[in-house]
Structure 1
Amino acid sequence: MDETGQPTEREIGVGPWEGHWPTGEHYDPELLREGDRRNVVDEYRYWSHDAIVADLDTRRHDFHVAIENWQHDFNIGTVVRTANAFMAKEVHIIGRRRWNRRGAMVTDRYQHVRHHPSVEEFVAWAESEGLPVLGVDLFPDSRPIETYPLPQRCVLVFGQEGPGLSDEVREAAQDTLSIAQFGSTRSINAGTAAGIAMHAWIRQHRFAG
């Protein structure tokens, strides 16, 4: 409330550090002095951007995420944001280099994003890394992701909203996986599908046993 009793806009983050400054190279003097209003967890308050990324790099998971971007798919920002939440190793953009970053909510500053101009180049990269390609789409021969044993090291690929996975990705994929649906629509939002698939990996490899 302000002095007139009216509600004030909720502030994000924290203000300037009060008292003696903490020591450590990971702290950012400007943030300590001015306050930290970024969208980061409390553990990283007042840390510099480079220090946060370096710490995340020590804990990233072994799965990668890729999405085809032939028509400036607005879901890419959501995929990047979700990949950051689930600590994906990298996000790969196949096709157009430019994408709408608004949905990422600045998480692309902390999440590694790699561009591949074509499916062929993306597949060559995956093969060089020994990573099986797993497409996520609703095909007649897709296997249910709910019961599929996801490899610890893999790359989950999603198509653009509407057309779904391209024939080239489908041919290169070790398997394609489907997400169970029970309503009247034939598909779910690509960003939502990506979140479900990433969480399936988390359930199998972080909470198994």
Structure 2
Amino acid sequence: MAGNSKRRGAIRKDGTKKGMVVGSGGQPRRALKGKGPTPPGEMRPGHPKARAAARRAAQDQQQRRRPVAGRRGDGETPETVLGRNPVVECLRAGVPATALQVATGMSADDRVTEAVALAAERGISILEVPRNDLDRISGGALHQGLALQVPPYAYAHPDEVLEAASHSGRPALAVALDGVTDPRNLGAVVRSVGAFGGHGVVVPQRRAAGMTAVAWRTSAGTAARVPVARATNLTRTLQEYASAGLMVAGLAADGDVSLDDFDLATGPLVIVTGSEGKGLSRLVRETCDVTVSIPLAGRVESLNASVATGVVLAEVARRRRVGR
């Protein structure tokens, strides 16, 4: 009934009045929060620039995982040898390989035929793959329709070189390379060590050439018979060899003694060869018992690292034959 203030809900109970309700001004909890400046297109999901950035990131990641032919390896990652001549040379040299990839529909010549025959003879898997796959693996490098997968090299421990010498019944003869970075020099040294009765080669773990496919090929298969050891610390390894009774002789143009007067060549010996440019490092040179120079006739100031090592190994082998 109009004017009846007693009916239920007609009047507000005491203490329940909400008070004045105003806009968001003065009540921050109800205020709208701004989204800030508009982010760049690369950070906005679905934006064309964001999709392009995602594609570039995926391509960069794939490129980092892709093996590159001719890269100086560290012996811990597989390699891919590309090209008809390099593949055939590796197979001829007995480089260990896991698979030979041949492009589909490729015109075969004598090199392709020989590569397939050598791989089949050695039990290497022969895979026929689309040419696009080889393009992706090579990263744009010339592959000529052939690719050879080479597994990581299994390095020996420096102590295994001493064990090989003790089992041979001959005085120990080893070569240590100090900072030699050219894998062809490493392969040539391995070949010389095998030719002149050496027991192994020691290389540093860092800043030095590893047993890549190039080194294997240069060694002409000798790397399968001569152990190549990797030393975490070359100076410490040489000190351990000295404690085991080996004479540590470093090669240097300004050596203490000439190779003609080197009378200790018939005993247990480790020859240390320095890098192509800087020679022996300071710590390694201080570790050597003696430094030996090669007498040269002519205007040539120095020899290539692998050539110098081969000359000394040949002289040591000659003196050991004469001294029998």
Q: Per-residue deviation at 1:123?
A: 2.1
Matched, 1:176 2:286: no
Equivalent in the alignment of 1:88: 198
Equivalent residue in structure 1 for 2:234, among 119, 130, 145? 119
Instruction: Output the CA distance in 1 between the equivalents of 2:289 and 2:179.
Output: 21
Q: Deviations over 1:68-92 (max 9, x none)?
A: 2363453111000010111102211
Q: So what's the TM-score if we normalise by structure 2?
A: 0.44
Tell me: higher relative CO, structure 1 or 2? Use CA pairs within 8 A at least 6 residues apart: 1
Q: Supply the AA of the counterpart residue of 1:148.
A: F
Equivalent in the alignment of 1:104: 219
Instruction: Output the CA distance in 2 between the equivalents of 1:138 and 1:162.
Output: 12
| Unmatched runs of 5 consecutive residues or more in structure 1 | 1-11, 13-33, 36-53
Q: Per-residue deviation at 1:205?
A: 1.1
Equivalent in the alignment of 2:315: 200
What value does the CA root-mean-square deviation take over the aligned residues? 2.5
Q: Per-residue deviation at 1:131?
A: 1.1
Q: Deviations over 1:74-129 (max 9, x none)?
A: 31110000101111022111243724413112211100221112233222331342
Identity of aligned residues (%): 28
Q: So what's the TM-score if we normalise by structure 1?
A: 0.66
Q: Cα gap change, 1:136/1:192 in structure 2, threshold over 3 Å: closer, same or farther?
A: same
Q: Cα gap change, 1:152/1:159 in structure 2, threshold over 3 Å: closer, same or farther?
A: same
Residue correspondence of structure 1 range 125-140 to structure 2 within 5 A: 125-139=240-254
Query: How many residue pairs end up in the alignment?
Result: 156
Q: Cα gap change, 1:184/1:95 in structure 2, threshold over 3 Å: closer, same or farther?
A: farther
Instruction: Output the CA distance in 2 between the equivalents of 1:198 and 1:99.
Output: 21
Question: Computing the radius of gyration over CA atoms, which structure comes out larger, 1 or 2?
Answer: 2
SS in 2 for 1:155: strand
More helix by share: 2
